[in-house]
Homo-oligomer: A and B are copies of this chain.
Amino acid sequence: MTKLTIVKIGGNVIENEKDLRQFLVQFSKIQGDKILVHGGGKSATSFAKKLGLSPKLVDGRRITDKPNLDIAIMTYAGLLNKNIVAGLQQNSCNAIGLTGADANTIESEKRPVKTIDYGFVGDVKKVNSNNINALISAGFTPVFCALTHNGSGQLLNTNADTIASEIAIAMSSDYEVELMYCFELQGVLTDINDLNSVINQLNAKSYSEFVEQGVISDGMLPKLENCFNALNKGVSNIKIGNTNMISSDSVRCTNIKL
């Protein structure tokens, strides 16, 4: 099968212009078919503040009301996505920026209200891999932001990590998919206070041991649950580390396999 590389970048890369520029050069050099997924939460928050809106949090979870959805659309699909696309074009990467509504690539449904109403937040229902395939076959590099749609005209805010893993799963029927989650660290740490304590290899067995021992906890748990879910559903290989890992296999990072 043909190889497909999916890279997810978060706020730390996007919000520093120099880091972003450098990343876009690296990303453009990836051989073969590729997809970029980006978040951008901090940009939206700081922009909302400028407009006098405060982020709505319930039990520490961000609530997306209508004004905050509009801001997400403006920053994610507008400012961030389009500047990334223009930056990739500068590096001869024929990028095309997308929300899940564009080319009907990602359908979602508003998260059901149990104890919390998250507002305009969508859980992925279906990734239309045939439409993403059509774009890739036409020579384009899809660049997804963290927005999906419900098919009834409503855009919805969706976690970028989840978008990346759901796309990876859907594409794995046609491709050998490698998924790379870039963040500020070199990988998953055994000691949060020691940046050198990177776990080089994680599999389902060692992961559950680390969780049992309390070595891996908090924010890394949903990220890694996402990873193992993707591996179980056909994704070949997942890496977590900083952006340098996309340029070279010798850069330290956490390799995750089943």
**Chain A contacts to B: CB under 8 angstroms:** 50-51, 70, 73-79, 81-83, 85-87, 89-90, 94-99, 101-104, 131, 134-135, 137-140, 147, 149, 151-155
- B70 touching A77 by the CB < 8 A rule? no
- B87 touching A153 by the CB < 8 A rule? yes
CA distance A155 to B99 in the complex (A): 19
* 10 extra A-B contacts, CB within 8 A, seeds A82-B99, A86-B99: A51-B51, A70-B79, A77-B81, A77-B97, A85-B102, A86-B155, A89-B101, A94-B131, A96-B103, A97-B102
CA distance A151 to B3 in the complex (A): 28
- B151 touching A89 by the CB < 8 A rule? yes
Number of copies: 2
CA distance A86 to B77 in the complex (A): 13
Interface of chain A, helix or strand or loop or mixed? helix
* 9 tightest Cβ-Cβ pairs between the two chains A and B: A78-B78, A74-B74, A90-B153, A74-B78, A134-B138, A86-B101, A96-B103, A96-B102, A86-B149
With CB as the reference atom, state the residue of chain B lying closest to A137: B138
Residues of B within 8 Å of A77, CB to CB, are 77-78, 81-82, 97
- A103 touching B98 by the CB < 8 A rule? no
